Amino acid sequence: MDERKISMNHSNEVIEKMNKEIKETEEKILKDKTPEEQEKIKKEWEQNKIEIDKKLKKELEKFEKDRKELEKKESELIPIEDMKEGLNDMMKDLDNKWDETLKSAIEDLFKGKTEEEKAKIMNAFKDSFINNQEK
């Protein structure tokens, strides 16, 4: 079943229960009042209900407007599936550039060095890389 439908069904059940409880409470309040007092109270309630309905209508209109704006913005988003290939290509390009830069830096460090000096440089680089990975 649609999640919205379940939510609406639940909301309707809650509203029905609230209306029943309100009606029962109204009857208890009015029970010991004179007809004039009852009439006055009912008019106040009716006026309050009108004001609340106006506020509720205004809030619902704002909610609906916000919902439509959100749906519009969501429809403008690019699905992640459509971006995956481009992101993967971008990551490969960055990896390739990093590899080229690293190789170039190592070649510069190795210029004029003996095999022993090259091994020391590589070991220091590996140790530094491993230590940074662990952090």
Stated pTM of the model: 0.42
112: left (phi over 0), alpha (psi -120 to 50) or beta: left
Q: What does each of the 135 residues of the chain score in pLDDT, given as a tens digit?
A: 466 667 888 888 989 999 899 889 988 888 888 999 989 998 999 999 999 999 999 999 999 999 999 999 988 888 888 888 889 999 999 999 988 998 888 888 888 888 898 888 888 878 887 777 776
What does the alpha-carbon distance between residue 20 and residue 33 come to, in Å, rounded to a whole number?
Answer: 21
For the chain, the 3-state helix, strand and coil shares in percent, each to the nearest 5, are 90, 0, 10
Tell me how far CA of residue 22 lies from CA of 12, 25, 116, in angstroms. Answer: 15, 5, 90
